[in-house]
Chain A
Amino acid sequence: MECCENKTQWYKKLVAVLLGTGDCHGGVKQNTYGLKKIALVGSPNVGKSVLFNSLTGAYVTVSNYPGTTVDVSRGKGKIGQQEYEIIDTPGMYSLMCITEEEKVTRELLFKEKPEAIIHVIDAKNIQRMLPLTIQLVEAEMPVILVLNIMDEAERMGLRIDIKRLELELQIPVISTIAALNKGINTLKERVDKYVKVA
């Protein structure tokens, strides 16, 4: 984990190390200069960081409560034949932001123009989370929808017609169980195809 690679002067770095004031708190900042970007966005506690970990092979902290990720993490991940910069973002409920960490995510989407934006949602709360998908589609951003935690949704008796949803939304829709590593390969294939077409 190489932290803080920006060009701060050496003595500042030294002071930061000695005083423990460097700001590398459980985040990952790999050197991804010049790579095309793929961002993971969505409400808090839907599994963005789990997906980030399985796409990059790095480890960012993952927990079962909203708001674990408060800062952006960047890692390298290979999808198809190409390496990408995968970006994990703090949770965001809507494009209309309330909290500071939501603003961080929105700014990132506006400034960095990722090749693909993977909107991760908790499948069992699909109704509450789709409005953000709608907003991203409205904004004409390159959205891919991931219905994560599919196992819990199924246990609750939810059956979601993925094909139909894809047709209605006109964007790729993939279902995953990221914590059990299910659906990751399909996701990668779809992202690969999507980015190539675009």
Chain B
Amino acid sequence: MSKSLNISYDDIIEDSIGKIISYLKGNYVLSKRAVALLLLQEDEDVLEKVQDTEKSNFIKIRLIIQKTKENYDKPLNYIISLSRQELVQELTEKVVNKEEEKNRNISDVLSRLTMNPITGIPILILVLYFGLYQFVGVFGAGTIVDFLEANVFENFINPWINGLVNSYIPWQWLKDLLANEYGIITLGIRYAIAIILPIVGSFFLIFSIIEDSGYLPRLAMLVDRIFKKIGLSGRAVIPMTLGFGCDTMATMVSRTLETKRERVISTLLLALAIPCSAQLGVILALLSGSPKAMMIWVAFVAFVFLFIGYLTSKILPGDQPSFYMEVPPLRLPKLSNILSKTYTRMQWYLAEVMPLFVLASVLIWFGNLTGLFDIIIDAMGPVMNWIGLPNEAAESFIFGFFRRDFGAAGLYDLQASGALSPRQLVVAAATLTLFVPCVAQFTMMMKERGKKTGIAMAAFIFPFAFAAGYVLNLILVTFGVLS
């Protein structure tokens, strides 16, 4: 195809391009002209590549770039982009015809309302209350989980499996592996299907609707100012809210952030203070009985989020992030996309969670068989007592080490047996929220941010979670709240 589109820059740049091209002897996938332009804009990767290919000539190229830069008081990147923008301007004037905008419609009004702090914050609270609390917490983690737990598993599947296993299998060890208190089916699969799946499913459904409506970028605009205080920009809203779905996924998404500093801060905050959907759902359901307990949990975790974010932004060197984000129009979500998205995510989640839950059951079974489990629980006892919890709570923490959601599900069992007071419940929920990222998230942290950073974060989070739990318990006891 003939390249008759004439893209030219000013004489100085054109001259430099010509000179650079004469030194480019290697083979590049893109045209030499494009390579020269990227060199002038000092693109690091391209500089490196050209240095490797052209060897001694690279010094001459460097010199040309230096000389060219001296002609302008603005970076060449800016100059070059500007000429391109001018060309595009000319082009669009020829091909685009803009009629007067039709009357402003309802989505414009709504869009403005979501971004204005005065109306935006109440809207956010409404979204959180109905979407998260009512639908995920009360309906998903309450109604559906209760139904599956109490009616399906407790009354039907568990007795049936236990009966089957106990009458046909002669060996106690195999009985315990499959059924009874910590069996693969009665614990692992029950947790996955009856507790985690409904919560995650209802969360993903609501979240898909929110995602497709275009609300998230508006939320980003709304909280940009607060996020600036903790070294992040509004852009970080996306990984942060995704974290409420699955922190592992969110850690990966944090690579969309511009600066390394922002990526490190958001990875740490995700690991520390953002509960994942399953954990969140269980905690919402557990605390929904006592609004006061819920408020304390929310306030505490939010405080930790902001406080640690603020501290890290002070410690970590680097500039404030700039914030530029495209705000797409509000759109009516398409049902077909919502359903396939929810379905894909649930499928993915279940596929990921199921083997792990089975593995955890096996490990716990092994620990029980050898008595190792009791030793660990006893060893963790003092730590539990230190933050005001009974020894049995150690179980949830050990579970939580495998996966956040597994730990929360353990807490659900503990609460159902009536072993925890409201105060203990809040402390346990808060500590578990802060406590280690699950294995998958930890692996992702090391992969995305590097081993050293990942391990350093875990080393910080581990003691911090318990210290924070201790402080929270102390405050609650001292002021006699929730006793």
Listed in ascending order, the chain A residues whose CB lies under 8 Å from chain B are 17-26, 43-45, 59, 61-68, 70-71, 90, 94-101, 103, 106, 109-111, 113, 125-127, 130-131, 134-135, 137-141, 152, 155-162, 164-165, 168-171, 179, 197-198
* A130 to B348 Cα, complex, angstroms: 36
Chain B residue at smallest Cβ distance from A164: B95
Give every chain B residue within 8 A of A139 (Cβ-Cβ). Answer: 30-31, 33-34
Residues of A within 8 A of B77 (CB): 96
**20 contacts across the A-B interface (CB closer than 8 A):** A17-B355, A18-B356, A19-B439, A25-B252, A26-B345, A44-B326, A61-B341, A61-B345, A62-B337, A64-B331, A65-B217, A90-B256, A130-B88, A130-B92, A139-B33, A139-B34, A159-B96, A160-B95, A162-B95, A164-B94
B248-260: CB near A (< 8 Å → 1, else 0) gives 1100110111100
Complex Cα gap A22–B4 (Å)? 48
Chain A residues positioned under 8 Å from B352 (CB to CB): 20, 22
Residue among B5, B102, B212, B256 making CB contact with A67, cutoff 8 Å: B256
* Docked-complex contact B344 and A158, CB < 8 angstroms: no
Check B29 against A110 for contact (C-beta < 8 Å): yes
Contact B212 A64 (CB under 8 A): yes
Q: Nearest Cβ in chain B — how far from A131, in angstroms? A: 5
State A170–B2 Cα separation when bound (angstroms): 7
Distance A109 CA – B31 CA, assembled complex (angstroms): 13
Output the residue of A22, A96, A156 with the most chain B CB within 10 A.
Answer: A96
| B84 pairs with A134, CB closer than 8 A | yes
Q: Inside 8 A of A156's CB, which chain B residues have their CB?
A: 98, 101-102
- Report whether B255 and A20 are in contact in the complex, using a CB–CB cutoff of 8 Å: no
- Which residues does chain A contribute within 8 Å of B416, judged by CB atoms? none
Asked if B206 is at the interface of the complex by the 8 Å CB criterion, the answer is no
Neighbour of B329 across the interface among A44, A96, A152, A162, CB < 8 A: A152
Known: A18-B356, A131-B85, A131-B88. A157 touches B249 (CB 8 A): no
Contact with A along B331-345 (1 / 0, CB 8 A): 101100100110011
Chain B residues near A62 (CB, 8 Å)? 337, 341
Closest to A17 in B: B355
In the complex, are the beta carbons of A65 and B88 less than 8 A apart? no
Complex contact B30–A159 (CB within 8 A): no
From DSSP, what is the main secondary structure of chain B's interface residues? helix
Contacts of A137 in B (CB 8 A): 3, 5, 7
Complex Cα spacing A188 to B257, Å? 34
Give the contact stretch, choosing among B35-43, B59-67, B161-169, B306-314.
Answer: B35-43
Flag if A138 contacts B91 (CB, 8 Å): no
Q: What are the residues of chain A within 8 A of B255 when measuring CB–CB? A: 70, 99-101
- A59–B340 CB distance below 8 A: yes
Q: Which residues of B contact A97 (CB under 8 A)?
A: 43, 45
Given A70-B256, A113-B29: A157 and B95 interface contact (C-beta under 8 Å): no
Report Cα–Cα, A20/B329, bound state, in Å.
36
Q: CA A141 – CA B35 in complex, angstroms?
A: 12
Across the interface, name the chain A residue whose C-beta is closest to B341: A61
Instruction: Looking at the assembled complex, report how far the CB atom of B321 sits from the nearest CB atom of chain A, in whole angstroms.
Output: 11
Is B152 in the interface zone, CB < 8 Å from A? no
Contact in complex: B4, A170 (CB < 8 Å) = yes
The answer to whether B34 and A131 have CB atoms under 8 Å apart is no
Assuming the contacts A97-B43, A101-B256, A140-B30, asked whether A159 and B440 have C-beta atoms less than 8 A apart, the reply is no
Identify the closest chain B residue to A156 (Cβ). Answer: B101
Q: Once the chains are docked, how many angstroms separate the CA of A27 from the CA of B88? A: 34
Contacting residues, chain B, for A159 (C-beta < 8 A): 96-99
Cβ of B359 under 8 Å from chain A: yes
Q: Per-residue CB proximity of B1-45 to A under 8 Å, as 1/0? A: 111110100000000000000000000011101100110010101
Q: Is B238 an interface residue, CB under 8 A from the partner?
A: yes
- For A96, give its contact among B38, B216, B253, B333 (CB under 8 Å): B38
B214 interfacial contact with A, CB 8 Å = yes
